[in-house]
């Protein structure tokens, strides 16, 4: 306050404290208005919104609903999809926020602009500070940039080998067959109140086997080894499901409740297990295994001592692969089952192809995957409609420009000042479509096709796997991000999901669970209910009630 009075001496002559207070408030308000104006002008006055609270804050993105002028609402990019781009008449828009700092977020759903951003790592690096909390066990590929990231990428990439992909397929098939034998048995019909109760443990078991070389069973028969308080399966399960608790609760508060104490114990136990496995397998030398963990250790050992990862870095990277792979696969499979249940004609197309590939009703092999293009297409269409991560954050490291498309189909160059935060809006890009204009106050809608805006997806809200059976714009499909920082585990994830989907569909027909309270809902209402989701580490289904009926 004193420095303000020194710069504005006229304020010292004001006798009333209330007048002084209002004067200071007025000065601060004017300063804020000018700052907002400058922030908008920095992006060339690109159309957009001005909000009080930034969606980058916990309260802005996870707590508050959408309030005009205040907040975007929860999971806003997935909820809005392409609607905001249509509203502002361009493939990019601006969100200017006041709290906690006055700044603008550039939101992009333009394939060409996104390709430029992801291809120019020096101009548009990743804001790694947003991911710092994910370094629980050590530095890793997600929280790093520059030379550190290059080291992690170089050592990690060989671990995701073709042999590992085959192991993922075989282990997934074995785990699903275990589900049939140990859980579903000879039941003709299996009613599941929420399908993630199946997909989460399935994905966990695959990570355990193909990721760590640790086989788990649907039967709870694991014995806790000496020196441990939890089995590996228990520790892995609690870490994978309670990672948000670890993220949200400060360290000093982790012992206040039974749930937080359990989470703390699970993280401690998993860290101990990983350290033990690193030492055991390093001591054994070359181990004839193809699980991700063994491959990573082998790749690390083959590098020079100077560039090799430390034990803590190995643990950090193994952990991040666990978290990324577990929830992404589980939730995408849940949404895929939901879409195939909602669209039985598409499910039948996939099933008929599976019958052709597996005429004797056996289990699919890794070599069969190339013949299952309809299953792959259904999986990709699910990823288009429900991308696991809806925001890929970047920022501008220098004053630069980007070219976007406006409503008239014209290419427009916009300035991007140094320090500008950028959101690559995956959901917006995946729903980028034709534009509709109202030419009068009447209800007549005239649809016109703007080449650059209609380039990506026709009828984007519909589940149409066939769009992936012909040419499509690959730059407009980025469920795993894009460029050099795209997901390193993409093949692991795809192989796991497609093998599980193929085997389950070959044996069971999937339908939506009929419930009396929803007997009068329309198809669109049912679709909205079953596909309802919330924000999480990935887009998370709230409740997907399904029925699996054994095929004759």
* Residues of each annotated binding site: 487
CA distance 487 to 174: 26
Residue with structure tokens 């795809």? Answer: 494
Which residues on adjacent β-strands are paired with residue 541?
533
Nearest to 308 by CA among 299, 317, 316: 299
Residue with structure tokens 């420095």? Answer: 3
Please state the three-class secondary structure of 395-451 as a single string: ECCCCEEEEEEECCCCEEEEEECCCCEEEEEHHHHHCCCCEEEECCCCCCEEEECCC
| Cβ contact 542:534 at 8 Å | yes
Which residues on adjacent β-strands are paired with residue 421?
105, 395
CA angle 241, 245, 251 (to 5 degrees): 135
Token duo for residue 175: 């785990």
Binding site membership for heme: which residues?
487
What's the N-to-C CA distance of the chain in angstroms?
80
CA distance 460 to 430: 8
Strands of 508-512's sheet in order across: 189-192, 546-550, 508-512
Which residues on adjacent β-strands are paired with residue 71?
67
Nearest to 49 by CA among 104, 11, 102: 104
| Cβ contact 104:419 at 8 Å | no
* Helix, strand or coil, per DSSP, at residue 168: helix
Length of the chain: 552
CA distance 342 to 475: 28
Contacting residues for 330 by C-beta, under 8 A, at least 6 apart: 196, 199, 200, 202, 203, 204
CA-to-CA separations, 325 to 175, 274, 507, 534, in angstroms, rounded: 16, 17, 25, 19
CA distance 192 to 187: 13
Neighbours of 517 (CB within 10 A): 6
- Indicate the DSSP class of residue 124: S
* β-pairing verdict for 421-425 and 103-108: parallel
Nearest to 207 by CA among 242, 243, 174, 171: 171
Q: Where are the alpha helices (DSSP H) in 251-291?
A: 258-284
Contacting residues for 397 by C-beta, under 8 A, at least 6 apart: 122, 123, 124, 125, 418
């Amino acid at each position: 306050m004193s420095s303000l009075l020194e710069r504005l001496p006229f304020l010292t002559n004001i006798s009333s404290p209330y007048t002084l207070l209002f004067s200071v408030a007025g000065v601060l308000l004017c300063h804020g208005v000018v700052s907002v104006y400058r922030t908008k002008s920095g992006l060339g006055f690109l159309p957009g919104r001005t909000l009080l609270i930034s969606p980058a804050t916990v309260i802005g993105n996870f707590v508050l609903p959408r309030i005009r002028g205040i907040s975007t609402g929860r999971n806003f990019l997935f909820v809005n999809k392409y609607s905001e781009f249509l509203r502002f008449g361009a493939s990019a828009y601006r969100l200017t926020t006041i709290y906690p700092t006055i700044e603008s977020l550039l939101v992009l759903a333009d394939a060409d602009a996104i390709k430029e951003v992801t291809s120019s790592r020096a101009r548009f690096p990743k804001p790694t500070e947003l991911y710092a909390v994910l370094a629980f066990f050590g530095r890793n590929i997600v929280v790093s940039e520059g030379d550190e990231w290059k080291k992690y990428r170089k050592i990690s990439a060989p671990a995701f080998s073709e042999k590992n992909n085959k192991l993922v397929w075989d282990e997934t098939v074995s785990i699903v067959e275990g589900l049939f034998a140990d859980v579903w048995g000879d039941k003709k019909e299996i009613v599941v109140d929420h399908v993630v109760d199946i997909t989460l443990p399935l994905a966990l078991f695959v990570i355990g086997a193909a990721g760590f070389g640790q086989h788990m069973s649907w039967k709870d028969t694991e014995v806790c080894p000496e020196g441990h308080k939890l089995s590996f399966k228990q520790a892995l399960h609690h870490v994978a499901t309670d990672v948000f608790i670890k993220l949200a609760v400060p360290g000093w508060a982790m012992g206040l409740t039974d749930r937080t104490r359990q989470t703390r114990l699970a993280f401690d136990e998993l860290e101990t297990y990983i350290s033990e496995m690193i030492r055991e397998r390093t001591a054994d030398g070359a181990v004839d295994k193809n699980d991700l963990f063994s491959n990573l250790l082998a790749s690390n050992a083959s590098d020079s001592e100077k560039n090799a990862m430390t034990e803590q870095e190995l643990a950090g990277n193994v952990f991040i692969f666990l978290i990324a792979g577990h929830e992404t696969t589980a939730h995408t499979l849940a949404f895929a089952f939901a879409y195939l249940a909602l669209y039985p004609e598409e499910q039948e197309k996939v099933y008929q192809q599976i019958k052709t590939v597996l005429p004797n009703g056996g289990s699919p092999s890794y070599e069969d995957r190339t013949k299952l293009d309809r299953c792959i297409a259904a999986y990709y269409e699910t990823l288009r409609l429900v991308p696991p991560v809806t925001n890929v954050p970047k920022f501008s490291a220098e004053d630069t420009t980007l070219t976007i498309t406006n409503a008239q189909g014209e290419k427009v160059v916009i300035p991007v000042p140094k320090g500008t935060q950028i959101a690559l809006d995956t959901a917006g890009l995946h729903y980028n479509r034709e534009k509709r204009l109202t030419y009068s106050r009447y209800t007549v809608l005239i649809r016109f096709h703007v080449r650059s805006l209609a380039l990506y997806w026709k009828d984007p809200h519909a589940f149409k796997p066939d769009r992936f059976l012909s040419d499509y714009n690959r730059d407009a499909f980025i469920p795993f991000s894009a460029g050099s920082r795209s997901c390193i585990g993409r093949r692991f994830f795809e192989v796991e999901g497609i093998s599980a989907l193929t085997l389950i569909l070959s044996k069971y027909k999937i339908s939506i669970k009929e419930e009396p309270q929803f007997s009068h809902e329309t198809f669109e209402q049912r679709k909205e209910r079953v596909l309802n989701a919330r924000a999480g580490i990935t887009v998370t289904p709230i409740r997907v009630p399904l029925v699996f009926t054994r095929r004759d």
